[in-house]
Structure 1
Amino acid sequence: MSFNMYIPTRTLFGAGQLNNLKDQVMPGKKAMIVISNGKSTRENGYLARVEEQLKIAGVETAVFDKVEPNPLKSTVMAGAAFSKENHCDFIVALGGGSCMDASKAIAIMATNPGDLWDYVQSGTGKRKVIENKPLPIVAVTTTAGTGSETDMGAVVTNEETQEKLAIKTPELFPVLAIVDPELMKSVPPKFTAFQGWDALSHSMEGYINNKSNLMSDMYAITAIENVSRYLARAVKDGNDIEARERVAFGNNLSGIVMCVGAISSQHSLEHAMSAYHQDLPHGAGLIMLSKAYFTHFIEKHVCDERFIRMAKAMGMEDAKEPMDFITMLTKLQEECGVADLKMSDYGIKPEEFETLARNAKDTNSGLFLVDRCELSIEDCIAIYKSSYK
């Protein structure tokens, strides 16, 4: 029943909300706008619109356009140097989860000495305390996947140690988030599915782990209902604004689930995969793992009623068995056109499974602690094997 809830971000949600950015109180006078190293933010006009909104608000800007999918520590350090060189006093994260995660990490290193890994609290991180307050962050999300506009965490890959780890502090909550589904209409179908599955996974994991509580349950079930019932529509027609809004809403709630509850070891297993395979989209990895991962816990009968409740939330009103949830999971993957994703297409090989399992357990051990039953190295390897195509 107990929960601890602190989410200080002001969120403007809904179609057209980007137009209201100019009217908000800004946390500084010069913004570092962080975007991806791709073309879409510029080509779709999102960067120009944000720059214009900030100009009207009296804010100068400098653009950092180096962020890759699964952002790297080296990119974060380059971004921090850019921020200092341009005398920026806050950051505008414009893009998807990678841009927001990179922005949060840059915000730390723009005001603190040393290396980002000095402040990471797991794996090979040096577990130092963040000395100086990070730069304030305004998040303008163009995707619906990570919920990073809502939470206080940043996930970054250290390419030197092949660790993909989170760094968390309440000071990383964005001061303002703009969640405008109109900015998501340009996301291609495949990536709409990948991102939506990440949002769904946050709430599915949050609902079945041992940190679930009255508050996280409320957010998680509502998120599952909205994402699972509207994601296929958004995949099939990117201009379906109702579907985009519903998935974005579910994503926003899934971010809150991570603040008031927790995600579980499925994320550890995927982080190991994309730590070694930089080109693997996080959501794609979660899709590959999902059926085997959740089936493992169903077979352990750790929370049968919760799997039944999730199946009902996904649209099977007469669900009676925990495996009905896997039926609905499979149906959604098929409707989104992602049921046949293959690990082998991203260069993942069976002989890596023990290495991945040990990486997951060693670097992200905390997420395994919230599972309702312990996953051994052998269990992790079995899940990878069952998921392999």
Structure 2
Amino acid sequence: MTGDGAFTVDASRVTFGRGCIAEVGDRARALGITRAALFSDSAVAQLEVFDAAQRSLRAAGIDVVDYIDVRVEPTDESFRSAAAFATEASPDGYISVGGGSVIDTAKAANLYATHPADFLEYVNAPVGAGAPVPGPLAPHIACPTTSGTGSEVTGIAIFDLLSMAAKTGIASPALRPTEALVDPDCTGTLPATVVACSGLDVLSHALESYTARPYTHRAAPARPTQRPMSQGANPWSDLGCGEALRLLGTYLARAVADASDSEAREQVMWAATLAGIAFGNAGVHLPHAMAYAVAGQVRDFRPVGYPDSEPLVPHGMSVILNAPAAFRLTAHTDPARHLFAAARLGADTADAAPEDAGTVLAEHLMTIMRQVGMPNGLAGVGYTDADAAALADGAWPQQRLLANAPIDVDKPLLANAFEQSMRYW
């Protein structure tokens, strides 16, 4: 197989800074938006940040139609409902104010209202047809209120496919928001558990992108325009990943421990932006693929700080619970990279031998997990060793992610990884 000899860098236009949510009206008008669909969820819609966005849009002379029925951890049903709203409302632009669930829902609504199709047509193969988006979408300005998903700078929309009890998604450069307004003030009211989970999602974005299969080890595309977004580790993504890991090692525990530590929360938000751009051009792998099964097969777990109407394993939690076991498995492929990542997170790697890379990184991840109050592995959210095979079955459809891992993955390896993720201390 001939490896690819080039990599592509895509990113949304990003504005970062305290109070920049107030720019949304002027920026929407500059994009030619006259009627905006303002997406949020019922919790964020009660906050000042949502009012600020509304005021800014209306002051710019833009007609605003609100959609605040976004579901935390979206499903195919909630995506369909949002698309139906967008089709009826006929906006010429989209504004999302919220976490990854809100931003992803706005992406899906924009897609299906602009280019109607059977729902599974655009969903990633092998779950859906993986059809390319046939043309451009309406402008979308994403305003994240959590410091985690990076959805404001990626062309990915993730949801639970209820019929499979597993997460999957839609991935296309066309879904990438036109602009992102990243306002650190939006995270000031977040509960500690939400900051921890979203920050650990950032951490895994950076770790997985940095340790992904190198872009030169991926087959060259049939046409340059068909190069995948998950193209593997590359020099551009390495820059963002390394700095994001350093920032998280320095500031994440502080941001979780003290809501008034504005410096820490701002730096974690910046890390989320850097890691979002990085993984949007490199792609994640094993921990995220495993996480989709963990979240999809949840039974009774209800985390503190999240809506308690139904069981939920937050995305960042479902990712990090698999990470120590996963990186033990991948470390032998490039010990130097795994040790560098551990050092950026604050681990002492001075005397570590290459064969120690997996252990050093895994143990430091466990330290961070304990610092920010994560459960002790998958057992802490209700799973047992007997669930490993079913979890492996649930992760197996995530071929886009599994193919990005630096190791070859089969179902027995997945089952073993889930078994090793059950408890850590």
Same-fold status (TM-score > 0.5): yes
Q: Give 1:146-185 correspondences, 5 Å limit.
A: 146-185=149-188
Deviation per CA, 1:104-148: give whole Å up to 9, x if none. Answer: 111111112233211113133123333353232110100011111
Assess if the C-alpha contact under 8 Å between 1:109 and 1:134 holds in 2: no
Closer, same or farther: CA 2–317 of 1 in aligned 2, 3 Å: farther
Corresponding residue number in structure 2 for 1:101? 104
3-state SS in 2 of match to 1:110: helix
Residues in 1 aligned to 2:234 and 2:141: alpha-carbon distance in whole angstroms: 29
3-state SS in 2 of match to 1:154: strand
Residues in 1 aligned to 2:275 and 2:292: alpha-carbon distance in whole angstroms: 18
Corresponding residue number in structure 2 for 1:387? 421
| Aligned: 1:64 with 2:85 | no
Report the residue type matching 1:262 in the other structure.
Answer: G
Assess if the C-alpha contact under 8 Å between 2:155 and 2:171 holds in 1: yes
Assess if the C-alpha contact under 8 Å between 2:45 and 2:68 holds in 1: no
| Aligned: 1:372 with 2:419 | no
| Aligned: 1:76 with 2:109 | no
| Cα drift, residue 318 of structure 1 | 4.5
Corresponding residue number in structure 2 for 1:268? 289
Closer, same or farther: CA 186–3 of 1 in aligned 2, 3 Å: farther
Corresponding residue number in structure 2 for 1:351? 386
Assess if the C-alpha contact under 8 Å between 1:149 and 1:174 holds in 2: yes
Report the residue type matching 1:305 in the other structure.
Answer: A
3-state SS in 2 of match to 1:149: helix
Report the residue type matching 1:87 in the other structure.
Answer: S
Deviation per CA, 1:326-355: give whole Å up to 9, x if none. Answer: 2321221222122x3453454434333212
Report the residue type matching 2:413 in the other structure.
Answer: D
| Cα drift, residue 190 of structure 1 | 0.7
Deviation per CA, 1:246-295: give whole Å up to 9, x if none. Answer: 11111111111123212112111111121222611111112211211112
Corresponding residue number in structure 2 for 1:308? 339
Residues in 2 aligned to 1:350 and 1:65: alpha-carbon distance in whole angstroms: 39
Count of residues in correspondence between the two structures: 383
Assess if the C-alpha contact under 8 Å between 2:73 and 2:160 holds in 1: yes
Alignment partner of 1:42 out of 42, 45, 53: 45
Report the residue type matching 1:134 in the other structure.
Answer: L
Residues in 2 aligned to 1:83 and 1:202: alpha-carbon distance in whole angstroms: 30
Residues in 1 aligned to 2:59 and 2:127: alpha-carbon distance in whole angstroms: 44
Q: Give 1:244-323 correspondences, 5 Å limit.
A: 244-277=265-298, 279-298=312-331, 301-316=332-347, 318-321=349-352, 322=357, 323=359
Residues in 2 aligned to 1:103 and 1:241: alpha-carbon distance in whole angstroms: 28
Assess if the C-alpha contact under 8 Å between 2:212 and 2:233 holds in 1: yes
3-state SS in 1 of match to 2:170: strand
What stretches of structure 2 of length at least 5 have no aligned partner?
A: 214-231, 299-310
3-state SS in 1 of match to 2:322: helix
Residues in 1 aligned to 2:150 and 2:388: alpha-carbon distance in whole angstroms: 28
Closer, same or farther: CA 318–269 of 1 in aligned 2, 3 Å: closer
Residues in 2 aligned to 1:42 and 1:107: alpha-carbon distance in whole angstroms: 20
Closer, same or farther: CA 2–195 of 1 in aligned 2, 3 Å: farther
Percent identity of equivalent pairs: 26
Assess if the C-alpha contact under 8 Å between 1:358 and 1:377 holds in 2: yes
Alignment partner of 2:242 out of 212, 215, 221: 221
| Cα drift, residue 376 of structure 1 | 2.7
Q: Which moved more, 1:3-12 or 1:108-117?
A: 3-12
3-state SS in 2 of match to 1:93: strand
Q: Which moved more, 1:153-162 or 1:214-223?
A: 153-162
Report the residue type matching 1:365 in the other structure.
Answer: Q
Assess if the C-alpha contact under 8 Å between 2:253 and 2:368 holds in 1: yes
| Cα drift, residue 236 of structure 1 | 0.7
3-state SS in 1 of match to 2:202: helix
Residues in 1 aligned to 2:362 and 2:244: alpha-carbon distance in whole angstroms: 18
3-state SS in 2 of match to 1:94: strand
Corresponding residue number in structure 2 for 1:239? 260
Assess if the C-alpha contact under 8 Å between 1:5 and 1:259 holds in 2: no
Residues in 2 aligned to 1:94 and 1:18: alpha-carbon distance in whole angstroms: 9
Residues in 2 aligned to 1:27 and 1:141: alpha-carbon distance in whole angstroms: 22
Residues in 1 aligned to 2:414 and 2:390: alpha-carbon distance in whole angstroms: 10
Aligned CA RMSD, in angstroms, stands at 1.9
Assess if the C-alpha contact under 8 Å between 1:157 and 1:275 holds in 2: yes
Report the residue type matching 1:359 in the other structure.
Answer: G
Closer, same or farther: CA 336–345 of 1 in aligned 2, 3 Å: closer
Corresponding residue number in structure 2 for 1:115? 118
Displacement over 6 Å in runs of 4+ = none
Assess if the C-alpha contact under 8 Å between 2:244 and 2:274 holds in 1: yes
Assess if the C-alpha contact under 8 Å between 1:224 and 1:250 holds in 2: yes
Give the TM-score taking structure 2 as reference length: 0.85
Residues in 2 aligned to 1:93 and 1:73: alpha-carbon distance in whole angstroms: 18
Assess if the C-alpha contact under 8 Å between 2:12 and 2:177 holds in 1: yes
Closer, same or farther: CA 373–8 of 1 in aligned 2, 3 Å: closer
Residues in 2 aligned to 1:261 and 1:196: alpha-carbon distance in whole angstroms: 19
What stretches of structure 1 of length at least 5 have no aligned partner?
A: none
Corresponding residue number in structure 2 for 1:191? 194
